[in-house]
Structure 1
Amino acid sequence: MTPRLYAWSLFAALIATAGLPIYIHAPKFYVDSYGVSLASMGFVLAALRLIDVVQDPALGWLAESTRPHRKTGVALAVILLVASMAALFAVTPPIAPLWWFALCLTGLFSAFSFLTICFYAEGVAKAETLGPGGHIRLAGWREGGSLLGVCLAAVAPVALAAATDSPFTAFAALFALLAILATFTMQSQWQGHAAEPTPSPFALFRPVLADRLARRLLLIALLNATPVAVTSTLFLFFVEPCAEALRKSRIGDEKS
């Protein structure tokens, strides 16, 4: 077994565990717990996605510019990730729930994107040191961890509901423990090479937006991503009433 590749699985699981609640759990939690309307929730999520589109190139530039201090940058991003997750699920909103939701998700989005960029960029450099088949071996460990994280994020709130009255608070606590473990395990893997000269993030946008074909591809990407975001967000809103209706129907059949 290649030494320390399990660290990549663990950190991939952390990132994946943070990603799923953004669309699946958080909207349903705020609608059920604080009475936020689904329409206003959809508006906020759409606005946040637009922010995410603009800030991702800026975060990529930041990740490259701070590469010599990558361990510090990753540690700060993990702190923001954990704090945002805790504020989202374990803290009663001190302001209007919709604004608190937007604020927490902005922190969660930003930390998630920055860590993803750093993680995959570091993976390319790491794979080149593993010899023939290094990229495939590293990808296997990494994507296996991602799958584990997605499954954990999907199942944990349901499983925790059987043990506590505040499953999402417990989920945030378990997420913090996973973050500590993953960050500590991955610490030696961040190499922090010298940063390459990069233009400003605004300069990076210009050639893309000036290219007619690139603009069309961006539109296609938007149309492709929209159904995924909508269906994943609305999934629990659809399934839960259907499951409850089916349960009541079966109870009625048994009584009759």
Structure 2
Amino acid sequence: MTARLAHLAAYGALGLPLAMVALPIYVQAPAYYTSRLGMPLSTAGLILFLTRIVDTAQDPLLGRWADRLAGSRRLLSALWTSALCLVAAFAALWMPPVSGMALAAWFAAALVAVYAAHSFINVAYLAWGSRLGHDSDVLTRAAAWREGAGVLGVLIASAGPAWLLASEDRAPQNAIVPFIALFGILLIGAIWVLRFAPPWQTMSTSQTSQSHRSGFRPAIVSVWRTLRDNRSFRMLLVPYFLNGLSVAIPASLAVFFIEDRLVAIKWVAPSLALYFLAAALGLPLWVRISRRVGPQGAWRAAMGLAIAAFVWGATLGPGDLVAFLLVCIGCGFALGADLALPPVLLAQCIPDGEGPGTYVGIWTLIGKLCLALSALTLPGLDWLGYRPGSPATGTPGVVLALTYAGLPCLLKFGALSALRMPLDSITEKVR
């Protein structure tokens, strides 16, 4: 392995444990707390929405903090501390020692703690990657290593918790312990390996001095100036938001759809694993396509493929397992582009010498806003008569299917339309 490949591998490794903790939170935690621990669906949805709003608001602030720590030993110290907090909070999320009304408070507190620790690590990690270079090919390969490791983490997370929770030999609170232990080991190891990644590109002397003179300005001011002064970045946020929401909604409803609409409880883990395996296989192909037509053109092609594959999901019901697996393959293949290409476009929108922390903070803010809004589908489905743990037939089943697949396809089409702009208006580096 050449030095460049070794550096990319050292950088990409952290994507694996970060993905391991992210997927169970927004895919499996709602079903875990409602179907297994007895929390009402509307309560779980409201908690997920409110905690995500709190999480969303902190990202620009964390981005500025990451910029201030860039290039110093304090950054790695902050990452180590955040990692330990994340492992502890993740364990608390899956092993609540309370029940009844106290369970809702525990769920909310654990989510806030997990989100805070995970957010800082993720923002600092993405900002690190945006400083690896300005060349589109370098940024794409770095994103591919990061997202490839992330897909591997997602594969572990999609099969592991579902398989452990399906065991009837242990209580739900104890079943997830092996997964938590594996996550903790991989997270600590990945942060240690990150030291061997290429050093961050530092800001210019004048900008560094200005950053120290200005102090810790309110995040809202930094967000406003970034949006005001960077047209390319503003243009990119619209399709990114619509596309993110089109992915977040089915992610939040996948377990409910498979268990109650398809009535295929044992196929939750295999379906998720197949979906993310297809994403892993598609990732290198989208990187190659990006080299030919550019990251924007490749991303648009992937959106079209996702719509064509997923729209059929709204028509599926009990007994349509084979058709659903084909949908998983097509949508998963398209997901590879969603993982690798948008961060490349983001990095190309960041002006030379300017700290990327604020940009990454806004970027992750938008992604988390999508997750927060997707949680509102749970109270909506509850109001329309859907009850987790029982077959979704009749009107509730149709509404579940349309919300799971129909609405995301409309949002994806909106994202595809919003990305119809001159190619150089986004991909040309802002100077």
TM-score normalised by the shorter chain: which range applies? 0.7 to 0.9
Distance 1:159 1:127, change over 3 A: farther
Matched, 1:80 2:88: no
- Contact kept in structure 2, 1:127 and 1:138, CA below 8 Å: no
Given candidates 162, 187, 194, the residue that maps to 1:179 is: 187
Offset, 1:216: 11
Higher mean alpha-carbon deviation, 214-223 vs 144-153, is at: 214-223
Distance in 2 of aligned mates of 1:210 and 1:21: 36
Contact 1:70 1:190 in 2 (8 A): no
> TM-score under structure 2 normalisation?
0.50
Matches within 5 A, 1:35-114: 35-67=38-70, 68=72, 69-93=74-98, 96-114=102-120
| Alignment map for 1:201-212 (pairs within 5 Å) | 201-207=219-225
Distance 1:246 1:119, change over 3 A: closer
User: 1:132: how far off?
Assistant: 9.4
Q: Does the 8 A contact of 1:71 with 1:190 survive in 2?
A: no
Match of 1:134 in 2: 138
Structure 1 position 184, deviation (Å):
2.2
How far apart are the structure 2 equivalents of 1:63 and 1:141? 22
| CA-to-aligned-CA distance 1:18-41 (integer Å, 9 cap, x gap) | 111121111111113321111011
Is 1:150 paired with 2:154?
yes
The alignment partner of 1:153 has SS state of helix
Query: 238, 254, 265: which one pairs with 1:235?
Result: 254
Task: For structure 1, list consecutive stretches of 5 or more residues without a partner in the other structure.
Answer: 251-256
* Residues 1:3 and 2:3 are matched in the alignment: no
Structure 1 residues 143 and 216: CA distance shift in structure 2, 3 A: closer
> Does the residue aligned with 2:131 lie in a helix, a strand or coil?
helix
Give 2:405's aligned residue. Answer: none
For residue 183 of structure 2, what is the amino acid of its counterpart? F
Contact 2:132–2:198 under 8 Å retained in 1: no
Tell me the C-alpha RMSD between the 2 structures.
3.5
The higher relative CO (CA closer than 8 Å, separation ≥ 6) is in 1
| Contact persistence 1:158–1:167 (CA under 8 A) | no
- CA offset at residue 183 of structure 1? 2.0
User: Does the residue aligned with 1:92 lie in a helix, a strand or coil?
Assistant: coil
Q: Which amino acid aligns with 2:127?
A: A
Which amino acid is the alignment partner of residue 235 of structure 1? A
Shift of 1:134: 3.1
Unpaired segments ≥5 residues, structure 2: 267-317, 320-431
After TM superposition, give the deviation of residue 154 of structure 1 in Å.
Answer: 0.6
Aligned partner of residue 93 in structure 2, secondary structure: helix
Q: Which amino acid aligns with 1:112?
A: H
Give 1:209 shift.
8.6
Instruction: Quote how far apart the aligned CAs of 1:208 are.
Output: 7.0
Note closer, same or farther for the CA distance 1:186–1:235 as it changes in structure 2 (3 Å cut): same
Cα deviation, 1:127-147, whole Å, max 9, x if unaligned, reads 46xx99433332222121111
Percent of pairs with identical residues: 30
Give me the whole-angstrom Cα distance separating, in 2, the residues matched to 1:225 and 1:102: 23
What TM-score, normalized by structure 1, do the two folds share?
0.79
Kept in 2, the 8 Å contact 1:58–1:201? The answer is yes
Question: Which of 168, 173, 176 matches 1:168?
Answer: 176
Q: Structure 2 CA distance, aligned partners of 1:236 and 1:141?
A: 28
* SS state at 1:74 partner: helix
